[in-house]
Structure 1
Amino acid sequence: MRRYDRVPHPYVLQPAMGQKPRLEPSDAIELDVTLIGHAAGYIAYVVRALQDAAATGIGPDRLVLDLEHVAPVPVTAASLSADPGERRGGLCVQALPALPPPCPKQVRVELLTPLRVQRDGHLVGPETFTPGDLLRNLVRRVSMLRQFFTDRPLEADFVALKELGLGLRARHAALRWVDLVRRSSRQDTVMRMGGIVGRFELDLTGAEPLWPYLWLGQWIGAGKGATMGLGRIGLFRALG
């Protein structure tokens, strides 16, 4: 942990997929909120913070919102879905299962929101992306979250996990770069938040130790901006 100068946030905010890019009066929106480790004990404060933020307003025009309800999202270790449309939003107040489902031989990975991961200090683009870029980031992220927000730091052979990730190859990849911008009120500037979206398939035969990290990535996200919903991952049964 000496190499890192910043503690990760123990939460992830993910707007439900398929919502309008611009809100109008009377529009309803859904937000997934994932709390990690000890942060789950502060759910009441999180709900109050969301109420206060809604009343203050969002966006440059300060559109005021009302928090209508808080509902759990059922989370199970059931088999992988074949249809991305089966996933929906809500405010998650239900704990994940203690263990992921059995590791599938093949899985389709959907990069649902722009993934911003770095290699050698530079953002990785769709032409040079490898599954190892994603898995390396997820292992590091899980390790840091465990270190700071649970009572049991992660014990793993990180060198072996890195080697397994480097050996993975993306199959049937369809990736592209999407540019996003957001306005920072604190910095009073517009920030570029582009990243990789799309899908690819993985053969996890021999790389089963990486499966728990990939599975957790569905809730914790990966890469820069994961706290605000970037790097969102969906896992589905491979078509082939």
Structure 2
Amino acid sequence: MDLAGLEFAAFRFRLKADDRFNLPRFVGSTLRGALGISLKKTVCLARDRESCTGCLLQPSCVYTYLFETQKHESVPKFRTISDIPRPFVIRPIPSQNSSLLTFDLILIGRAIELIPYLIFSVKRLEKSGLGPKRDRFTLMSVTSLHPEGEKLIFHAEEESLSGGWFVCSEEQLERRAEEMPDERATIALRSPVRIKSNGRLVSDLQFHHLIRALLRRISLLALFHCGFEVKADFKRLIEAAEGIRRTGGELKWIDLERFSLRQKSRVKMGGLVGEVEFEGDMRPFKKLLAAGEWLHVGKGCVMGLGRIEVIDGRREESGRASGREVEGSGGSEIGGR
């Protein structure tokens, strides 16, 4: 699979509350909503309009591109697709310290150069506060993540961007793919994974479900945000994925909810978390899985859902995989095999 044109960059934001954060369990949704509102207030030059639809500035608007991504009618192959994936992922980092909030913001393709707008928008939230109780905070720092660690690009004392940032490409994906096992892999679902098959959410997760969803997501991100079409034999890849056997694992369904401002109601956003073992020839899929580790899979990726990680050839003891926590807890368990 050729992913030579795929580019993304990861930035880590560290926030410190004036007192403590009182945020909902589904903090990714809170961050997504607050950041969108703040960015719109920052860049919108037509604030008297009730809707962005039909705005003269819409084709070049930073807010529209990031949060209300428009379908490209110039791409006939995808005219039937109504929802183009947004070019970013918000990934909350679990913490036991209620006065600190850390999250990664992963920007894809053309969105990478918009990081100054997003840092400014988070800074703007310092005054209005975050969450239902409007928790005041200070944006302490923003770092660029790269294979060797982190590079500081913004600090509260400086309030200006310093230097450039690291952009991940196919080279980093290939290096990560080389670390993955060839025949037997355990995939950890670090945040709720919502994949649909035949119009229904998948509860009995098989390898081909993951691959179908990853092929769709990575292909659309590449086309609409990186400007290239993924070249691969999709039919053969899916057929090969159907031959990968699920040999074990412990998954459970976590129920999450978020409040939708657009629908004026609460929306269920639950999904599968845990670990699942697969056995078979993993080699054709390793680079795709490496991309999925960064760009997530399934529904709700912009809010941090769909985070996966290939952790080992065998499943680790429950709760010990890489020493990381899963966002959310509780729910009903689903199967082992």
TM-score tier after normalising by the smaller chain length: 0.7 to 0.9
**In the superposition, relative to structure 1, how do residues 61 and 228 fare at CA in structure 2: closer, same or farther (>3 Å)?**
same
Letter in 2 for 1:73: L
1:69 pairs with 2:175: no
1:149 aligns with 2:244: no
1:179-232 per-position Cα deviation (integer Å, ceiling 9, x unaligned): 111223343322211100010123352x42221111111111111101110011
Partner of 1:82: none
In structure 2, relative to structure 1, the CA distance for the partners of 1:175 and 1:140 (3 Å cut) is: same
Alignment correspondent of 1:215: 290
Are 1:59 and 2:131 matched, yes or no? yes
Q: 1:115 aligns with which of 193, 216, 226?
A: 193
Q: Distance in 2 between matches of 1:41 and 1:214?
A: 25
Specify the alignment match of 2:39 in structure 1: none
Q: Which runs of 5+ in 1 are unaligned?
A: 77-86
* Matching of residue 224 in structure 1 with residue 302 in structure 2: no
Aligned to 1:47: 119
Residue 71 of structure 1 aligns to a residue whose secondary structure is strand
Distance (whole Å) between structure 2 residues aligned to residue 220 and residue 5 of structure 1: 20
TM-score norm. by structure 1 comes to 0.83
Counterpart selection for 1:168 from 222, 237, 244: 244
1:236 shift after superposition:
1.3
Q: Which residue in 1 is equivalent to 2:254?
A: 178
Question: Secondary structure of the residue that 2:248 maps to in structure 1?
Answer: strand
Structure 2 SS opposite 1:63: coil
- 1:12 to 2:84 alignment: no
Aligned-residue RMSD, C-alpha: 2.4
CA distance in 2, matches of 1:19, 1:238: 28
Structure 2 match to 1:84? none
- The one-letter amino acid paired with 2:130 is I
Unaligned runs of 5+ in 2: 1-77, 154-164, 316-337
How many residues matched? Answer: 220
**What letter is aligned with 1:109?**
I
Taking the aligned partners of 1:228 and 1:162, their CA distance within structure 2 comes to 27
TM-superposed deviation, 1:158? 1.1
Structure 1 residues 185 and 63, CA gap change in structure 2 (3 angstroms) = farther
Q: Which residue identity is paired with 1:115?
A: V
Secondary structure, in 3 states, of the residue corresponding to 1:191? Answer: strand
Contact kept? 1:36, 1:145, Cα under 8 Å:
yes
Give the equivalent residue in structure 1 for 2:45.
Answer: none
- The question of whether the paired residues in 1 share the 8 Å contact of 2:257 and 2:268 is answered with yes
**Contact in 2 for aligned 1:75/1:97 (Cα 8 Å):** no
Report the equivalent of 1:34. 106
Q: Following the alignment from structure 2 to structure 1, what is the Cα–Cα distance between the partners of residues 133 and 261?
A: 12
Residue of structure 1 in register with 2:181 after alignment: 104
SS in 2 for 1:31: strand
Asked whether the equivalents of residues 168 and 203 of structure 1 are also in contact (C-alpha less than 8 Å), the reply is yes
User: What's the secondary structure of 2:266's corresponding residue?
Assistant: strand
TM-score by length of 2: 0.60
CA contact (8 A) 2:245 2:280 kept: no
Change in Cα spacing, 1:54 to 1:3, as seen in structure 2 (3 Å) is farther
Higher gyration radius (CA): 2
Say if 1:75 and 1:96, in contact at 8 Å, map to a contact too.
no
SS at match of 1:66: strand
- 1:112 & 1:213 partners in 2: Cα distance? 17
Shift of 1:160: 1.0
Do 2:106 and 2:295's aligned partners in 1 also have CA atoms closer than 8 Å? yes
